[in-house]
Amino acid sequence: MKPIKVGLLGIGTVGSGTFNVLKRNQEEIKRRAGRGIEIAMVADLNVERARELTGGECDVVNDANLIINNPDIEIVIELIGGYGIAKDLVLKAIAAGKHVVTANKALLATHGTEIFKAAQDKGVMVAFEAAVAGGIPIIKALREGLTANQIQWVAGIINGTTNFILSEMRDKGLDFGTVLKEAQRLGYAEADPTFDIEGVDAAHKATILASIAFGVPVQFDKAHVEGITKLQAVDIKYAEQLGYRIKLLGITKRTPKGIELRVHPTLIPAKRLIANVEGAMNAVLVQGDAVGATLYYGKGAGSEPTASAVIADLVDITRLATADPGHRVPHLAFQPDAMSDTPILPMAEITTSYYLRMNVSDQPGVLADVTRILAEHSISIDAMLQKEPGEGETRADIIMLTHQTQEKNVQAAIAKIEGLPTVMGSITKIRLEELS
């Protein structure tokens, strides 16, 4: 059987990794796929560099439309990124009857509903394992391996840049700005790290995971997104003293009222495996009703780890290309006509526990005032840490961990506590998840 011909749009870090891994492991991949997989064309604006990377082993062009319009190309790999030209090219490829493999989480999180509908109508596949957690096969695990389960929640460290920064802040006691500069120097953070450090990248991925876990349309615009830019080294230290570590988590949960979809810094018990994921590594924890908790760990970015996921998608498509579209694995795990309209909950309605740090006057009655206000808002205290003032100091930090309560209760209580004359400045609030 002739090899299936593939067109590659963009041969940057992941594209070059895909080309190299496919070439290096071609015999093994052929044995698994049932036929050869060959990158026959590459489109990149830097034609000279692309020719150098491919060694003259395929046609190189500077116009992606030449790949889309080539009748011999059956699969198009989109590795351009972004929302603009990438969306146009993916939709054109689908319209031309070609299957698509993409690592573009931003595109799918914002326009996935339109793209999957177009693919369904045309009878082609859109595969996107590389869009979430790099080389970790979390999409396949959720979509296929855990299909017997009612997924209860998913929580993941799904951005390596922020995990590296938080690991360094904890290990070395440094502030955020200092560690960010080091992350940029080492190549873990981009020159403009906004999408990473503000939580947007993780929210794109969490949006996709929520859709596959619960069978709802992709709804990035309804995700709650907080980054790590406001985290202070002192809070990481206090969390450690209380037996917790702080990670930027993407969390999605099924609740009786709707689905939670949120990204924010989170305290996790230090004894949890996911709390011990350090550096630029990723990990995703999935709770199913039948299987219980399962953890997926590995490299969430990089040339060849992400290429591993891209090629796994190529193999899947090669195996299923001739199958009746109705018998393929659905894009978002659930049959298109069985998708749910379960609402995404507003942040005020979510329920979790909280870490609260406040700087207060060292005088009698302060703690009584604070606990009274918390009680008025149905918030009970689980643990407390009080830092004694140093010699000559008149203020001290009080740190409280609450039992589970609604976000709106905490927000209202904080507003009242901050109005006390004995409380200085703003209260630091970080959410807490036991993940048990």
Residues with catalytic annotation? 205
**Residue 71 burial (C-beta neighbours within 10 Å; 0-12, 13-18, 19+):** exposed
**What is the distance between the alpha carbons of residues 298 and 308, in angstroms, rounded to a whole number?**
12
Contact 243, 267 (CB under 8 A): no
**What is the distance between the alpha carbons of residues 322 and 324, in angstroms, rounded to a whole number?**
7
Please enumerate in sequence order all residues whose Cβ is within 8 A of that of 213, keeping only pairs 6 or more positions apart, or say none: 142, 151, 154, 252, 254, 286, 333
Contact 120, 93 (CB under 8 A): no
Contact 12, 80 (CB under 8 A): no
Greatest CA separation found in the chain?
83
176-186 helix and 160-172 helix, angle to the nearest 10 degrees: 130
Which tokens is 80 given? 């351009």
- Cα distances (Å, whole numbers) of residue 143 to 128, 172, 340: 12, 39, 16
Which residue's entry shows tokens 């990794």? 17
Listing DSSP states for 318-385 in one string gives: HHHTTS-GGGSPPTTSS-GGG---PPBPPGGG-EEEEEEEEEEESSTTHHHHHHHHHHHTT--EEEEE
Distance between terminal CA atoms of the chain?
Answer: 50
